[in-house]
Structure 1
Amino acid sequence: MASLASAACVCKRWGRVASDPAVFRRFGSLRRPPLVGVLVTDRGREKFPLYYHDTCFIKAPSRNNPELASAAANGDFYFMHHPDVDDDDEWRLRGCDGGFLLFSLGRYSTDLAVYDPLDRTAVFFKPPHDFRPFRYAIVADEADASFQVIDIQPDPWGDDASVVFSSRTRSWVENGSVRYRFAWPYTDGIAAGRFAYWRSNTKNDCYCEPKEEILVVDTKTMVWSYMTAPVPVGESYCVAHMPEHGGLCIVSSKEQRVLLWVSDANGGWVVKKEVSLLNHFPYLKKLRRDQWMKRVRILAMRAGYVYMEFWSIRKTDSYLLVLNLNTVKLEIFLNNGLNNEDRPYRGPAFPFFLRMAPLPAADDDKKLQDA
């Protein structure tokens, strides 16, 4: 990032190129994401966050980075210290992307808020309709620190409505309908670069065909599509936007192996890379044997890094793993937020990354000098 800022200061022409949103987004997609920590949730037996659920923030190692250490220590990840929040217990975490957290208020999501836990600033807004079972996804654009909240309303008897809230306009805009195709997910959507996706829930629906289908929306064109995942129903996976591999890819886990799936010429899926965690990292074998670590949960993938949870089937013990797929190097740290709990947190988990600050405008001499 320092090199890019220096390049922007060479002259106004270089500054315009370096601060161009397209260049800035491409730069951000290739650099290692600065991981502050992971937000893990527990919703008990609830399939949807209608009731109170717990949230725990797990700090990641700062790697001698004072900015990361300060963010982890001072961030308000529980939405407790904003002046407009009366009862933090009623706010439920629904999504995370680009340094923003999406919260909904109460059982029926009567209010929504997108919160910056580092600056402690929030955008409050109402859902498009009251008392409806919405599924949300937040997608941020670090080039200008803006965001979109995408909302779909499941309707098993017809088309499903979709609307989008933009931080630029501070309003909802209708985005057509999505044809009903599978059992709707109980969880919210997840960001994957410029895309957002929702997982099907065919594992828990005896009336649906047992295959894993994924609803995807391109937030630039707002075009909806479906993907059929190349993994068995119930297997852990995530979707990643990887232009170097042709667009959307899937990262899955099976028997402590991490697989990267890419699209082939016929529209199917092929394994591009496979990493056996136990064979490449022998110390994980000891953890597996001593603490019954038998499950790998894929949380996210960004810029070639896969973020996972390695957890025990008998205990509450849990470790968070960061795997560089390009170099096959692994970082591991203890999920120390669960040590004193009598049950594990098995709800959605969200890696929280430090947002990249936009570069100064090239035609502003004072900003260039400051940079």
Structure 2
Amino acid sequence: MKRKASPSSFSGDPPPAASPTTVDSFCDDVIAEFLVRLPSVPSLARAACAVKRWRRVASSPAFLRRFHALHPGQAQPLLGHYYYTECSSRPVFQPAQPTFSDPELSAVVRHGDFFLTPVTSMGRLEVEDCHQGRLLLRNCDTNESSPFSTL
């Protein structure tokens, strides 16, 4: 005996489309899985510059331990150094020469804020310390220190 089709199955309306999956819909653990598979430290640094959330995931101590365990022998590249001039109220960034020959490192320098543009109005600044793209800046006028992320 044949069954009659329900009227709703012939309504002509297509089924609702699945919403597209975006990177934002992934949890931090999945993003970490993508990032840990990048081939090199410069590739990781470039990806971390792309999205603030990726930078947060990629800069966590647990992630960095895992990344370096999977990529042994890769030294962290020197992107450049800061120096002072008498006519400048803030440190001047000088990119390292090998940076320009590596497209990944060159992109990190282009997309990072190594030139301290958001803090130009803070008076005379000195770099007290630096570690993994983060600076500890001291305002010489107020003697206050504050962190600054170049990436």
- Normalising by structure 1, report the TM-score: 0.21
Question: Bigger radius of gyration, 1 or 2?
Answer: 2
Higher strand share: 1
- The TM-score normalised by the length of structure 2 is 0.44
